[in-house]
Amino acid sequence: MQIGMVGLGRMGGNMSERLRAAGHEVVGFDNDATKSDVGDLKGLVEALAAPRAVWVMVPHGSPTTSSVHALAELLSPGDVVIDGGNSRWTDDLEHANYLHERGIGFVDVGVSGGVWGKTNGYALMVGGADPHVARLMPVFTALKPEGDFGFVHAGGVGAGHFAKMVHNGIEYGLMQAFAEGYELMAASEVVTDVPAVVKSWRKGTVIQSWLLELLDRALDADDDLSALRGYAEDSGEGRWTVEAAIDNAVPLPVITAALFARFGSRQDDSPAMKVIAALRNQFGGHAVTAAPGMVEKGADAPGADVTPPPIG
């Protein structure tokens, strides 16, 4: 099958190579001219035979919207656009409607697999109309892992990215659990070889998983993770998962806590914890740790007033 690929970064580039290895013809375009097969989107569309299929693999938000709108002006009725980035599912509805007005189909695909997908295959969560999905099955089959798993037609437009959003929310929770378990063992004096414990869990335990294997690999390279800073960004999907939970009145305490833990990781000196420290000092005379250049306060230190305020 012939397909266009817009965006040839780590994901788009590797997916293109996997598709070519499976015998498909890929015409790629990227803003980096050294990676492109064509000079621009117009050239990409002209290189494809109708009915065309163009896969967009660029960052979510305005880059994806700009790409979809540009393709809408170049493609023809009967063509189909696939968004395989990390778009929000509500954006899919807008993009699908925009393309539908021009007779162009739209399919959203949540893609998981990261840098390992080229070799192991990509898990694909697909949303879209049955005829569009059926037409693209040769591409999906080439990208997915071998066997019965790794692909789902989750529903109509938006369902693929909604499923991927929930997938990433679960991922947040799993990673946070591994992180907390690691920190507890490292902080105790009971376990003397934390990396060895993690490695032992890889077989025969109920928590054996790919994430656990990746943690083991990281500890093999840096047994106390001293080369890393404890700072974690979020791609946005964790936030969207929590927002969807609020919209549907579904409790997500683990995923929400994992998201907030990432926010906490970005604070060098937490304003909230300053308030907690100040309050403990005020009501109980508990010692506080001073900021650089300041004097620490304890129960007997000047300014550590523990006299209860008047009531009323």
Q: Which residues on adjacent β-strands are paired with residue 123?
A: 112
Band of pLDDT at residue 291, cut at 50, 70 and 90:
low
Residue-averaged pLDDT of the chain: 91
Q: What CA–CA distance (Å, rounded) separates 227 from 221?
A: 10
Q: What is the largest CA-CA distance in the chain?
A: 82
Task: List b or e across 241-261, with b for residues whose CB sees 16 or more CB atoms inside 10 angstroms.
Answer: bbebbeeeeeebeebbebbee
Question: Above 90 in pLDDT, residue 302?
Answer: no
Q: What is the pLDDT of residue 179?
A: 93
Active site residues: 164, 171
Q: Average pLDDT of 74-81?
A: 98
Whose structure tokens read 């050239």? Answer: 43
Residue linked to tokens 């989750």: 154
Confidence of residue 74 (pLDDT cuts 50, 70, 90): very high
Distances (CA, A) of 256 to 163, 172, 243, 251, 273: 17, 9, 10, 9, 19
Could you give the CA distance from residue 6 to residue 43 in angstroms, rounded to a whole number? Answer: 12
pLDDT of residue 277: 81
Question: Has residue 299 got a pLDDT over 70?
Answer: no
Q: Give the model's pLDDT for residue 4.
A: 98
Contact of 194 with 215, CB cutoff 8 Å: no
User: For position 310, what pLDDT does the model report?
Assistant: 52
pLDDT tens across 96-109, in order?
999 999 999 999 99
Give the whole-number percent of the chain exceeding pLDDT 70. Answer: 92
pLDDT band, very low/low/confident/very high, at 240 (cuts 50, 70, 90) = very high
Over pLDDT 90: what percentage of the chain? 77
> 13-62, pLDDT tens digit by residue?
999 999 999 999 999 999 999 999 999 999 999 999 999 999 999 999 99
Q: What is the pLDDT of residue 285?
A: 77
Give the Cα-Cα-Cα angle 16, 21, 23 (nearest 5 degrees).
100
